[in-house]
Structure 1
Amino acid sequence: MEAICENGGLIPVSKSEPILVQPETSLNTNQGFYFLSNLDQNIAVIIQTVYCFKPDENKSSDNVGDVIKRALAKILVHFYPLTGNLRVSSDGKLIVECTNRGVPFVEAEADCNMDVLGDITVPDPGMLGKLVYTVPGANHILEMPLLTAQVTRFKCGGFVLGMTINHCMTDGISAMEFVHSWAETARSKTLTLPPFIDRTILRSREPPSIKYPHKEFQEITDTSNMSTLYQEDQLMYNSFQFNQEKIARLKKTAMEDGIIKNCTTFTVLTALVWRARTKALKMKPNQQSKLLFAVDGRSKFNPPLPKGYFGNGIVLTCCICNASELIEKPLSFAVEHVQNAIKMVTEGFIRSAIDYFEVTRARPSLTATLLVTSWTRLDFDTTDFGWGEAVQSGCVNLPEKEVALLLCNGRDRKITTLLLGLPITAMKTFQELMQV
């Protein structure tokens, strides 16, 4: 299936052969196997991101590759599991073999100025894919490195850091903390937040205790034949911006019937997108429509997870209802569902989800499902490797066709952007429904 993008394009890039960057010292690194919790198991997908840095009039970027590479060797002493290989353990779960093999690192030159990238808000695999390194011939997750890095210098003196990382190693918060620590190291600063890498604090209980229904794993029948639509139609990515005025109108609409008394930007936008996507995909009235979204569980534990927890501290929570209910009832109906799903996430629920996977090895079904993930609290643009903060950052693509991403734009962070991909015919309807 071909993916098309509104701002698509190609840039001429020549790449060096990758070198393997190993931890500068093995004093703090361990050999053997590194435990991944059950919260890490269900999201072993590759996330590709790029960070753009404009030219600095007072500082040449000629040596930027060396600076970032040396900093990577230093920071990997603290984040050493990223240098290992993903394996399947004897009990059928993902685990990291800590070999200190190293992280593939590539330096590249682009035969153009960085402004040809334009606004990289919308995922563009064709163009942005040239700015990240993927191992040729690696088609299975076990064949792919846990982390790769590429630094691409442009003729204007600007540069782009492209990073691929396996989601089983980090959620958004720990990925941001890793990148910030890497940047601090490049500036010869002491780490503000050293990582806490022991994930065994999220082991399943003995014996497992499943005390909550876990509808996030529920299989749904595709009675609307949406799989055929995705196979036959082109996938189109698009972005939609919501300023404070538009969000205020949405909140007012959601609360006008008195069903809910308040709502956040996340709950109202997630509810809006869930309804609009269900309608755009022409789900039949009796089709069950599922919404999955991640809730940060760090503060839900008593005591909370340690500061700098390196791993997935998020858990998926779920809403399910018939498409007819979702579309025909007011926006407050969907918002209330989202709010109730958030309230459900307690330490008990998270421990139950961990135990549920231990017993069933089930993975969340994505049939007739929208999976919303929010990066609105992540400050990737404040990353500074010594040439100033990133002027913009973005995703090369979205990891699954069911994923929608929320993030904040601009230095004042007053605009929330929605990114998602849909079959092109469904995208036309979705665009109309976003005119709110």
Structure 2
Amino acid sequence: MDSPNVKYISECFIQPHSASEESKKPFYLAPFDLAMLSAHYIQKGLLFTKPPEANNNPNFLQTLLAKLKHSLSLALVHFYPLAGRLVTKKEQDPHLYLVYVDCSNSPGAKFIHASLDMSISHILSPTDVPLVVQSFFDHDRAVNHDGHTTSLLTVQVTELVDGVFIGMSMNHALGDGTSYWHFFNTWSEIFRAEENNITLSEISRPPVLERWFPYGLGPIFSLPYTNPDEFIERFEAPELRERIFHFSSESIAKIKSKANSECRTSKISSFQALSALLWRSLTRARGFAPNQETSCRLAANNRARINPPLSPNYFGNSIHPVKSQPVKAGELLENGLGWAAWKLHETVVNHNDKWIRQSIDAWLKSPAVYQLSRTFDPHSIMMGSGPRFDMYGNEFGMGKAVALRSGYANKFIGKVTSYSGREAGSIDLEVCLPPAAMRALESDVEFMEAASVPSYD
């Protein structure tokens, strides 16, 4: 039986509740931001159970929508670029190709109300994430450059029979995962204050919107293009199965202990050890030839690594997919978990101010916009997002979310997205693989002994 389709009920645009003088000026993008123009939007969302009182209140959803819109307008006061639109200014002599955000000539952030005649169990019970989840997000398959004509931020609230999914799509040229969850957390903070009739005089973590430009460059940075066709790629992923694997805090502790014990050290972190397990397991599942080179990339936050460091509240892109030294698949699998984990540990340790600045220097000498098909090696894996973000702390009057899901965006063979689990210390991993490789992973003893099926009780 075909699953029902998401029905779109209404949409509107949300402006910041008030406009500062600063928000009326052009908001320039830094090199890290401009490099993301051909990537997809960030699409993440939270699934909530309807509270018991919703059954007896026919106005429950309308009241919730009104509160979400109002608190969103207040959050946008602090994150006003998200209510803008991209603009490109071009000149021939001297050459200028400038992409920036116009925050004043825009209808605002988009807000969509939708519904789906399915229950929470229909979303969470299947082994694989059902395709209908992709319809919980706006900007399906959009690239960030599309922000010239579409919203830079969209919130979609999809009502299920017994739940509510709040999905947010944010233009990746404006910020990375740290920035994304910073905004989500702030929106939730404002919503909860309003619920308790508290007027916030200030939010707990004001964003730092001033762009970071290396070596005093900026605020205007021109790209070496004359037309967007020169750098925009419409990446389409091949057929993928997408599945969530859960790792309890106890399982993660065992993986970390094993990796450190094999290397006679205590320096390997939990996430490095877990990433090494994924690297080995996915390499085995994909059946690479022993001499095939493979590597593992980790999404690294540069804020604290730059000297002087950026504020943890810097709103923008300050990440790098740090890549381990390539190794032969046979070598990776012949050696133990600790051997792979130590390779990742060394990669993280070497990702310091000197390395970051060398990377920036290379980019400035030859500026380019990242393209998914060229940036990520099809024989490697990419560990995206991170379990340190406060995901389940976002509440909107319905208690703690029961699950987190993502949209179509930025997925490819070997992409693993890590989320904080619902229980403290646990991690959920969203793994994308071709069907045959996923079946092999599900039969992988080392992997399946460590992983478990998420519980949503």
What TM-score do the two structures reach when normalised by structure 2?
0.78
CA, structure 1 residues 427+311, in 2 after alignment: closer, same or farther (shift >3 Å)? Answer: same
| C-alpha distance after superposition, 1:141-200 (max 9, x if no partner) | 4254321111223444x422121112222222221110121122233352111111111x
Amino-acid identity (%): 26
- C-alpha distance in structure 1 between counterparts of 2:265 and 2:107, whole Å: 53
Q: How far apart are the structure 2 equivalents of 1:197 and 1:140?
A: 19
> Counterpart of 1:210?
none
Q: Does 1:37 align with 2:30?
A: yes
The answer on 1:101 being equivalent to 2:83 is no
With over 3 angstroms needed to count, the CA separation of the structure-2 counterparts of 1:175 and 1:121, relative to structure 1, is farther
Distance 1:197 1:10, change over 3 A: farther
1:316 Cα deviation after fit:
2.4
5+ long unaligned stretches in structure 2? 55-59, 91-95, 219-236, 450-457
DSSP-derived class of the 1:16 partner: strand
Task: Determine whether 1:15 maps to 2:8.
Answer: yes
Is contact 1:260-1:336 (8 Å) kept? no
After TM superposition, give the deviation of residue 252 of structure 1 in Å: 3.9
Is the 1:408–1:417 contact (alpha carbons within 8 Å) kept by the matching residues of 2? yes
How is 1:285-434 mapped onto 2 (pairs within 5 angstroms)? Answer: 285-319=290-324, 320-362=326-368, 363=370, 365-367=375-377, 368-397=379-408, 399-401=410-412, 402-410=414-422, 412-433=423-444, 434=447
2: CA distance between counterparts of 1:398 and 1:140? 11
Change (3 A) 1:181 1:421: same
Contact 1:74 1:185 in 2 (8 A): yes
Q: What is aligned with 1:165?
A: 170
Q: Distance in 1 between matches of 2:49 and 2:152?
A: 28
Does the CA-based 8 Å contact 1:29-1:78 persist in structure 2? Answer: no
Q: Deviations over 1:285-313 (max 9, x none)?
A: 33221221112222223443124211123
> Matched residues in 2 for 1:393 and 1:198: separation?
31
172, 194, 197: which one pairs with 2:209?
197
2:286 to 268, 281, 288: 281
Counterpart AA for 1:369: S
Q: 1:56 & 1:244 partners in 2: Cα distance?
A: 29
Secondary structure of 2:288's partner?
coil
Quick one: distance in 2 between partners of 1:292 and 1:167?
19
Supply the AA of the counterpart residue of 1:50.
Answer: G
Q: Distance in 2 between matches of 1:130 and 1:194?
A: 32
Q: Does 1:82 align with 2:82?
A: yes
Residues 116, 79 of structure 1: alpha-carbon distance in 2 compared, 3 angstrom cutoff: same
AA in 2 matched with 1:14: K
| CA shift for structure 1 position 103 | 1.4
Q: Does 1:61 align with 2:74?
A: no
Contact 2:144 2:172 in 1 (8 A): no
Q: Aligned equivalents of 1:21 and 1:115: distance in 2? A: 32
Secondary structure of 2:158 counterpart: strand
Superposed CA RMSD in Å reads 3.0
Instruction: Indicate the residue corresponding to 1:222 in structure 2.
Output: none
> Which moved further from structure 2: 358-367 or 401-410?
358-367
> Who is 2:259 aligned against?
254
Contact 1:41 1:93 in 2 (8 A): no
> Alignment partner of 1:382: what SS?
coil
8 Å CA contact 1:149, 1:162 repeated in 2: yes
SS in 2 for 1:383: coil
Which amino acid is the alignment partner of residue 260 of structure 2? M
CA contact (8 A) 2:144 2:171 kept: no
Q: Using a 3 Å threshold, how does the CA distance of structure 1 residues 42 and 286 change in structure 2: closer, same or farther?
A: farther
Counterpart in 2 of 1:27? 20
Unaligned runs of 5+ in 1: 1-7, 208-229
1:225 matched to which residue of 2?
none
Q: Distance in 2 between matches of 1:385 and 1:68?
A: 8
How far apart are the structure 2 equivalents of 1:120 and 1:146?
32
Amino acid at match of 1:365: T
Q: Equivalents in 2 of 1:138, 1:373: separation in Å? A: 19
Match for residue 448 of structure 2?
A: 435
Is 1:235 paired with 2:234? no
Q: Structure 1 residues 139, 248: CA separation in 2 closer, same or farther (over 3 Å shift)?
A: closer
**Residue 111 of structure 1 contacts residue 154 of structure 1 at CA under 8 Å; is this kept in 2?**
yes
SS of match in other structure, 2:443:
helix
Task: Name the SS for the 1:357 alignment partner.
Answer: helix
Shift of residue 264 of structure 1? Answer: 1.6
| Residue in 1 that maps onto 2:71 | 71
| Aligned counterpart for 2:47 among listed residues 29, 52, 76 | 52
Cα pair 1:375 1:407 within 8 Å, conserved: yes
Q: Distance in 1 between matches of 2:361 and 2:281?
A: 34
Please tell me whether the aligned partners of residues 122 and 419 of structure 1 are also in contact (alpha carbons under 8 angstroms): no
Question: What secondary structure, in the 3-state scheme, does the structure 2 residue paired with 1:24 have?
Answer: coil
SS at 2:26 equivalent: strand
**Residue 140 of structure 1: how far off its partner (Å):** 7.5
Report the TM-score, using the length of structure 1 for normalisation.
Answer: 0.81
Q: In structure 2, do the counterparts of structure 1 residues 386 and 325 end up closer, same or farther at CA, with 3 Å as the change threshold?
A: same
2:263–2:339 CA contact under 8 A, matched in 1: no
**Would you say the 8 A contact 1:80–1:100 is kept in 2?**
no
Distance 1:141 1:246 in 2: 41
Shift of residue 9 of structure 1?
A: 7.4
Bigger drift between 24-33 and 377-386 goes to 24-33
Taking the aligned partners of 1:120 and 1:80, their CA distance within structure 2 comes to 39
CA contact (8 A) 2:5 2:132 kept: no
How far, CA to CA, are the matches of 1:71 and 1:261 in structure 2? 45
